[in-house]
Amino acid sequence: MEEKAIMEKLHREASIELSYFSPVSKVAIRKSCSSAYCYNTQKKRFERKDDMVYSNDMPLRIKY
């Protein structure tokens, strides 16, 4: 295979992988990013720490 054909095949495979959507619960996010959240005992919820940079899809508060 020539290099261009290989790159096109890899690109197609990657785009198929990225097209799948699986929702993640807030509890799973907190468990996977445990260092990003701290527990607020007064409000009885987990809140994001301010000293880190986060993506826009991470919730600010997790209450359960």
Its sign, for the CA torsion 28, 56, 23, 44, is positive
The model's pLDDT over 15-38, given as tens digits with 9 standing for 90+, comes to 877 777 667 788 888 888 888 899
Mean confidence (pLDDT) of the chain: 85
Tell me the H-state helices in 1-64. 3-19, 26-32
- For residue 14, give both structure tokens: 């990657």
Q: Where are the beta strands (DSSP E) in the chain?
A: 37-40, 45-48, 61-62
Checking if the pLDDT of 42 tops 80, the result is: yes
Residue 20: C-alpha distances to residues 3, 15, 24 (Å): 27, 9, 13
- Give the predicted TM-score (pTM) of the model: 0.57
- Closest to 34 (Cα-Cα) out of 23, 48, 22: 48
